[in-house]
Every structure is written in structure tokens, then in C-alpha cells.
Amino acid sequence: MSDISIVIASHSGYGHTAQIATAVADGARSLAGTHVHRVDVASLSDADWELLDAADAIIFGTPTYMGTASGAFHAFAEASSKRWMTRAWSDKLAAGFTNSGSMSGDKLHTLQYLSLLAAQHGMLWVSLNLLPGWNTTTSSPQDDNRLGFYLGAGAQSFNDTPAVHDADLNTARHLGRRVAEHTRIHRAGLAAAAHCHGSCSSGVCAGQCLAGAGEDMSTATAIMNVCDDVSGRGGRGSHDSRAGVERDVREGHGGGRGLLRAA
């Protein structure tokens, strides 16, 4: 299992967004083998740009000011156009988070802006995938995703206190973990495609790819999907061989890990 690198590129005007960035980082680090770096987009060094270029995933973060990202973040986005021209960030994973003083604060527009920035770079956006909380008479403002965003993580912090709501921090941790999980699957799939291209036959390729699959069944399944697609297999023999590989995963054969135990 190879390590993955995630960079959180964010700006914080008064400290709230910085706390959310810390929570995102904590969530990402909760997946073993994940290296997380944070860069302040208001003061990027050459070394920071190199971290961004080398990352497997970039998570963008900014406060929402006047219905959009902060001026410092906009300046960073414009400066990233050099990477846009060379497609340096193409096919990296991306996600985003934002904070404002009001419950709405037009944060959706900021998340849309972040996802559009990622799209211009050819990046692959990871959504929040967390059902909204605090939307029934029996729910609570302590629910995760209490503000009901889907595109990314949204937070609301009162302007007259430095505190960030615990539910919003939990939501941010969820986003960080989710990005880390999908980054690992993406990396494994790319490695499988490179390994399998032009050499897949019967069920052998799936088994070979699975040997380096990592430590969860979702990763193993993603790799076998890539192998099947690259080889163009789809008949009965493919299904039989795939079932055999999946059985080996559950029982710990082949790679000897019993990957399903960690699923």
C-alpha cells in the first residue's frame, strides 16, 4: 500500500476557516498512510507550489465574503493559471469547504466557485456525501451537515466569537476522511491500469492487481473494475474468475491479508 499526499490550500481571515482546515486535515490523517500538508494561499512559497504540484489531492478552503471566496483566494486561483496552461493538476482529486457568519451567507456560490476552479484544472471533484441534518422537528443543530450542503463542507461561525460549531468541525473531518479514501482508490486504480494495460487475460490480471490493492475491499473492487475495463472482458469466465478473486480476498489468500476484514 503506497502512501498518498493531500494538500489543503486555504485562506482564513479571522481564524474560523483555519480551524475548519485543521479538522479536514485530522479527518484525512485518520486514514493510515495519508500525508497531509497545509498551505496558506495568501503567502505561498515556491516550496508550497511544489507541494501542490506533487499532491494526489487538493482540498480548497476559504471564507465566504460578499457571496464568494476571499480576495486572497481569488488571487491564488488566478496565480494557478500557470498550472492550468500545463495541465499540471489534471486528474488530481479536489474538494472544498467554506465558512460564513450567517446560516446561508451564500456559501453555495463559494462551493460552486471552488468546484469550477477544480473543473478548469481538469480535477476530479469529491462531494460531501453526507445526508443533511437538523431538518426535522426531532433533529438537532448538533447533527453533522447541519447546514445541508452536498457539494462540499459548509460551516457557520458567529462573527463575534472565535469558536467554530462542533457539528461543522465533525462535518469537516468527514470530508477529509472521504477525500483520503477516494484518493487511495484513485491511486490504486491508476496503478492497476498502468500494470494491466495490454496484458489482461482471464482472471489472472485481477489477481495480480489485487496483490497490491491496499487494505480494504472497496479498493480491491475498484482495481478489479479497472482491470475488467482495460482488458475488455465481460463474459462468463470473467465473472467466475472475479468471484474467485473476491473469495480469496475474504479468506485472506493470495495477498494473505483478508482485505474484507478492514472494509
Contacts for 62 with CB less than 8 Å, ≥ 6 apart: 10, 11, 17, 41, 69, 70, 72, 73, 98, 110, 114
Distance (Å, rounded) from C-alpha 45 to C-alpha 48?
5
Per CATH, the number for 4-186 is: 3.40.50.360
| Each residue's pLDDT tens digit, 126-185 | 999 999 999 999 999 999 999 999 999 999 999 999 999 999 999 999 999 999 999 999
What number is the average pLDDT over the span 87-92?
98
| Each residue's pLDDT tens digit, 4-16 | 999 999 999 999 9
Nearest to 58 by CA among 76, 34, 38: 38
Distance (Å, rounded) from C-alpha 162 to C-alpha 240?
58
Confidence of residue 237 (pLDDT cuts 50, 70, 90): very low
Nearest to 185 by CA among 57, 23, 24, 37: 57
Distance (Å, rounded) from C-alpha 39 to C-alpha 80?
14
Domain range summary for the chain, segments of one domain joined by +: 4-186, 197-262
| Each residue's pLDDT tens digit, 28-65 | 999 999 999 999 999 999 999 999 999 999 999 999 99
